[in-house]
């Protein structure tokens, strides 16, 4: 009886995942019946709501990848440095204060981060970069980066702390400094866990919606320049669901195609991360 | 045998973990290029004593040394505050209870100490690595897979890798902290052979809970109990004709 209940509880997660995939695929099918897959993947315009609609996913995909890349250039170095400090240098008291504070940063609603980007980061960046538009991917990406630092730092730190003490002792006994031990022994030993942390960060950045919807602008724009304004896959989906498109229109169906792409991108990163983690797994 | 020079002189050595006193005024001499064994029941302070020699205790907060360990011929006090623990560890190598190779290749494990010391020359590093692996009797087993992971070796090979790692930087003294307690009898025998051979070139201090091991590999033995040095003598004398009742009780297995 208990076992059956537990099994049921476990299956909820599997069932939910399968349902999401099922809905995305079945709802995207009518879209692909009207839009050839080739056009979808190669067309450089995404204007499903215009009188002469074009359905090229590339502009949205570019927006997602650019904001994600900007976010990672902040989150990976900052998260890794914070993790190394907390795990290898900080006193226990400092760690006990900083780690909960860091985790609290991860609990701030993302819409707040969106306004932080729009109201504080963008005006600041405009002073540094003259002519920067009010909506831009740079500001949104930077703030997403700040937002995912706690995830990257916290998971990386756990991975580093899991490296056994006797391995550190071996390094100290060779005359290594704290920094040498951290960089040459602890980090290599924690690499698989750190890869998992980075993948978690990437998935969060790819899927982040509110910050880009608020701060990056909503015009699909095929560009790799982060100082421009552009829509991402997620911000497009929000825009359409908030509008009043009829549910059987192709514009409405297009969000499922976009959602499917989003799912595939995150899945690809997760698989890559899994393979990477396995490649670097160390058994102590 | 007793004529060898003094490599280190321990005088009035005490050690504190916070308010707990772990070592009480130890005095002894470590002879150059001899093997000195530290024996005694669990918790007697033998590992604590060993770890004073390379200042490993400095990594634990709230610890304190008293007295001195003077290393010769330079006559520096290993436990003096003014002496940098990193400099001490550069000169005195250590092999631990559990083999602890780094998550790196076999080659990089042995090269670690050289790289930490800033060695750049590839040729020099390769030469030292090969020499250290030969000295640790591991070369023939690993020469075809130097770039394979150190953690893929068997337990005994891992421990010899750790010995090679410690030897690569030409230490003056090697500390062994129960180096065979995690190994099977065959691997243990090989490590013991190795320790005996190392005596030619380096001063060895070994902690062991295995009295037969102490009798087999060491020239001198110190028996410790409750943080004090009970008896210190030539191994052959201490095991056949101990001077103290407590030593006799321990080596005849009456306690410990």
Which CATH number covers residue B16?
3.40.50.300
Contact A189 B103 (CB under 8 A): yes
The residues that bridge with B232 in the sheet, in sequence order, are: B222
Q: Establish if A40 belongs to a structural domain.
A: no
Q: Establish if A160 belongs to a structural domain.
A: yes
**How many angstroms separate the CA of residue B224 from the nearest CA in chain A?**
24
Q: What is d(CA A153, CA A53) in angstroms, rounded to the nearest whole number?
A: 43
Contact B89 A174 (CB under 8 A): yes
The stretch A232-256 carries a mean pLDDT of 87
The closest of A236, A237, A149 to A198, measured between CA atoms, is A149
Contact A175 B90 (CB under 8 A): yes
B196 touches chain A (CB under 8 A): no
Q: Establish if A228 belongs to a structural domain.
A: yes
How many folded domains does chain A comprise? 1
Q: What is d(CA A242, CA B66) in angstroms, rounded to the nearest whole number?
A: 74
- CB-CB: which of B87, B94, B102 is closest to A167? B102
Quick one: which H or E segment has residue B20?
Answer: strand B20-31
Q: What is the pLDDT of residue B223?
A: 94
pLDDT above 90 as % of chain A: 62
Question: Is a pLDDT exceeding 80 seen at residue B254?
Answer: no
Query: Looking at chain B, which residue has its C-alpha nearest residue A88?
Result: B59
pLDDT in tens, B22-80: 999 999 999 999 999 999 998 899 999 999 999 999 998 899 999 999 998 889 999 99
How many folded domains does chain B comprise? 1
**How many angstroms separate the CA of residue B87 from the nearest CA in chain A?**
7
Q: Establish if A11 belongs to a structural domain.
A: no
Give yes or no for a contact between A142 and A116, defined as CB atoms under 8 angstroms apart: no
Q: Establish if B1 belongs to a structural domain.
A: no
Q: ipTM greater than 0.90, yes or no?
A: yes
A97: Cβ–Cβ under 8 A, 6 or more apart, which residues?
A: none
**How many angstroms separate the CA of residue A181 from the nearest CA in chain B?**
9
Q: Give one word for B253, left, alpha or beta, with left for phi > 0 and alpha for psi -120 to 50.
A: left
Q: Establish if A211 belongs to a structural domain.
A: yes
Residue showing tokens 């006994």: A173
Q: Establish if B141 belongs to a structural domain.
A: yes
B81 touches chain A (CB under 8 A): no
Contact A164 B100 (CB under 8 A): yes
Q: What is the pLDDT of residue A225?
A: 92
Q: Establish if A6 belongs to a structural domain.
A: no
Question: Is a pLDDT exceeding 60 seen at residue A282?
Answer: no
Q: Establish if A212 belongs to a structural domain.
A: yes
Contact A173 B89 (CB under 8 A): yes
| B241: containing domain | 6-251
The CATH number of the domain where A267 resides is what? 1.10.3720.10
A166 touches chain B (CB under 8 A): yes
Banded model confidence at residue B1, pLDDT cuts 50, 70, 90: very low
| A69: containing domain | 57-280
């Amino acid at each position: 009886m208990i076992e059956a209940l537990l099994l049921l509880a476990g299956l909820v997660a599997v069932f939910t995942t399968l349902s999401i995939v099922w809905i995305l695929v079945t709802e995207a099918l009518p879209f692909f019946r009207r839009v050839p897959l080739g056009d979808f993947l190669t067309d450089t315009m995404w204007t499903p709501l215009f009188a002469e609609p074009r359905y090229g996913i590339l502009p949205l995909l570019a927006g997602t990848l650019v904001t994600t890349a900007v976010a990672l250039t902040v989150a990976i170095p900052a998260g890794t440095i914070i993790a190394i400090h907390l795990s290898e240098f900080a006193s226990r008291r400092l760690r006990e204060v900083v780690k909960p504070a860091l985790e609290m940063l991860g609990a701030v609603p993302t819409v707040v981060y969106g306004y932080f980007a729009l109201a504080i980061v963008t005006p600041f960046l405009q002073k540094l970069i003259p002519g920067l538009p009010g909506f831009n991917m740079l500001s949104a990406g930077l703030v997403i980066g700040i937002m995912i630092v706690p995830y990257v730092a916290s998971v990386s730190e756990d991975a580093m702390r899991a490296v056994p003490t006797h391995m550190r002792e071996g390094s100290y006994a060779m005359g290594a400094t704290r920094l040498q031990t951290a960089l040459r022994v602890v980090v290599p030993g924690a690499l698989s866990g750190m890869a998992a942390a980075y993948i978690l960060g990437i998935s969060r950045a790819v899927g982040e919606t509110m910050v880009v919807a608020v701060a990056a602008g909503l015009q699909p724009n095929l560009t790799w320049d982060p100082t421009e304004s552009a829509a991402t896959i997620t911000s497009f989906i929000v825009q359409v669901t908030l509008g009043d498109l009829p549910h059987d229109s192709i514009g409405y169906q297009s969000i499922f195609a976009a959602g499917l792409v989003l799912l595939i991108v995150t899945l690809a990163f997760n698989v890559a991360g899994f393979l990477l983690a396995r490649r670097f797994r160390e058994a102590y | 045998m007793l004529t060898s020079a003094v490599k280190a002189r321990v005088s009035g050595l005490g050690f504190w973990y916070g308010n707990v006193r772990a070592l009480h005024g130890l005095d002894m001499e470590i002879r150059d290029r001899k093997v000195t064994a530290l024996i005694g029941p669990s918790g007697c302070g033998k590992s604590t004593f060993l770890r004073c020699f390379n200042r490993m205790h400095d990594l634990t907060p709230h610890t304190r040394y008293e007295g001195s360990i003077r290393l010769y011929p330079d006559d520096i006090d290993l436990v003096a505050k003014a002496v940098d623990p990193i400099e001490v560890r550069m000169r005195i190598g250590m092999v631990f209870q559990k083999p602890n190779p780094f998550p790196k290749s076999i080659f990089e494990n042995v090269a670690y100490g050289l790289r930490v010391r800033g060695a750049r020359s590839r040729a020099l590093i390769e030469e030292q690595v090969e020499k250290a692996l030969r000295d640790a009797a591991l070369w023939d087993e690993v020469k075809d897979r130097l770039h394979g992971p150190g953690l893929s070796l068997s337990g005994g090979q891992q421990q010899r890798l750790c010995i090679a790692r410690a030897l690569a930087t030409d230490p003056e003294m090697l500390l062994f902290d129960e180096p065979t307690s995690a190994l099977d009898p065959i691997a243990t025998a090989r490590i013991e052979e190795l320790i005996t051979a190392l005596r030619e070139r380096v001063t060895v201090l070994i902690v062991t809970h295995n009295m037969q091991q102490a009798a087999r590999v060491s020239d001198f033995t110190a028996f410790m109990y409750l943080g004090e040095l009970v008896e210190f003598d030539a191994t052959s004398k201490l095991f056949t004709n101990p001077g103290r009742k407590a030593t006799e009780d321990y080596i005849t297995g009456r306690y410990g």
